[in-house]
Amino acid sequence: MTLGQSIAETRKRLEPHYSDGEARALVREILFRLKGWTPVDIAVKADEPVSGFIQSKISEAVDRLLRDEPVQYIFRRATFYGLDFTVTPDVLIPRPETAELVDIIVGDHSGQSDLRVADLCTGSGCIACALARNLPFAEVTAIDISEPAIAVARENASQLKVDVDVRRDDVLALTPPEAPLYDIIVSNPPYITQSEKTSVDANVLLYEPHSALFVPDTDPLLFYEAIGLYAVKALAPRHSLYLEINPLHAEALRDMLARQGWHDIDLRRDTSGKLRFAIATRTS
């Protein structure tokens, strides 16, 4: 079978389950992860034969995709902010909207160096590593409660050759320091309420770690409250806290941050138009 025939067959298998665009993207991802082939390589090799081994690997990946397994877990790789990360089912797959948050932070701090950064609830370490790569001489600390997630974040820091201090701690129980420790605090904590579970896609519900995703209906701002109280002391005056947020609770979050003493609270939309980020400044 030629590569062109194999691609056509693979798309046919995927199409009942995925849209045409998704099936095309998945085929490209499978071939990139298995063989390192880019779309140009694929076009050039269309008439070349595909080995039985590669054909069986493609078929195995398709079987898993048809069971809703995310392609990132199948190959244990995810691209985020132009960097290649290891991901396992112990960590959330980095999302494009989170990369938008990294971009806001990098833009706000261009030309600055030696910044002290904390990424709370780091998961794969995607935010921490992307910031360490893009903020010159930044000193980055990354915290998560999950031991397996910490192992993945450390592996990513090591593979990407960035200096990130990954530590285990409970963000809900951090003691605010006497003196400021950081110039930037960022967090994408769990923020989906249990009652929103019905609107969450099967691939997320079945495969991603629920401890990374969900908070109780009774306390949707659980993490933000703890992070805000910690950061209002741990952040240097006139510096900002950057949060990825649940659009459904954006206004309540703004009120809570104001009550905690934060200033210039800015709710921003992601590229899909949802209120997805909150940026708040410590004045004194």
By CB under 6 A, residue 232 contacts ligand SAM:
no
Amino acid at 115: L
DSSP assigned state of 284: -
Three-state SS string over 10-35 comes to HHHHHCCCCCHHHHHHHHHHHHHHHH
The structure tokens 């401890």 sit at 211
By CB under 6 A, residue 103 contacts ligand SAM:
no
Q: Which of 278, 244, 280 has the alpha carbon at shortest distance from 262?
A: 280
Q: Is 13 or 249 the residue whose CB approaches ligand SAM more closely?
A: 249
Nearest residue to ligand SAM, scored by beta-carbon proximity: 123
Single out the segment in contact with ligand SAM by CB under 6 A; choices: 58-66, 102-110, 164-172, 196-204.
164-172
Q: How far is the CB of 247 from ligand SAM (least distance, A)?
A: 15
By CB under 6 A, residue 227 contacts ligand SAM:
no
Residue 78, beta-bridge partner list: 85
Single out the segment in contact with ligand SAM by CB under 6 A; choices: 53-61, 168-176, 248-256, 259-267.
168-176
Choice from 70, 131, 135, 144 touching ligand SAM (CB under 6 A): 144
By CB under 6 A, residue 146 contacts ligand SAM:
yes
Phi/psi zone of residue 216: left (φ > 0), alpha (ψ -120 to 50 degrees), beta?
A: beta
The CA distance from 19 to 282, in Å, is 45
Choice from 92, 118, 184, 267 touching ligand SAM (CB under 6 A): 92
Judged by DSSP in three states, 37 sits in: coil
Choice from 98, 141, 240, 260 touching ligand SAM (CB under 6 A): 98
Choice from 211, 238, 255, 266 touching ligand SAM (CB under 6 A): 211
Q: How far is the CB of 47 from ligand SAM (least distance, A)?
A: 40
Encoded tokens for 168: 């285990």
Choice from 3, 50, 61, 212 touching ligand SAM (CB under 6 A): 212
Residue 77, beta-bridge partner list: 86
Q: How many residues bind ligand SAM (CB under 6 A)?
A: 23
The CA distance from 212 to 198, in Å, is 17
Which residues have C-beta within 8 Å of that of residue 175, sequence separation ≥ 6? Answer: 230
Residue 117, beta-bridge partner list: 140, 184
By CB under 6 A, residue 126 contacts ligand SAM:
yes
Phi/psi zone of residue 264: left (φ > 0), alpha (ψ -120 to 50 degrees), beta?
A: left
By CB under 6 A, residue 127 contacts ligand SAM:
yes
Number of residues in the chain: 284
- Subset of residues 181 to 200 that bind ligand SAM, contact rule: CB under 6 A: 188-190
By CB under 6 A, residue 104 contacts ligand SAM:
no
Q: How far is the CB of 257 from ligand SAM (least distance, A)?
A: 19
Q: How far is the CB of 202 from ligand SAM (least distance, A)?
A: 18
Single out the segment in contact with ligand SAM by CB under 6 A; choices: 23-31, 166-174, 227-235, 264-272.
166-174
Residue 225, beta-bridge partner list: none
State the Cα angle at 65 between 215 and 196, rounded to 5°. Answer: 20
Q: Which residues bind ligand SAM (CB under 6 A)?
A: 91-92, 94, 98, 121-124, 126-127, 143-146, 149, 170-172, 188-190, 211-212
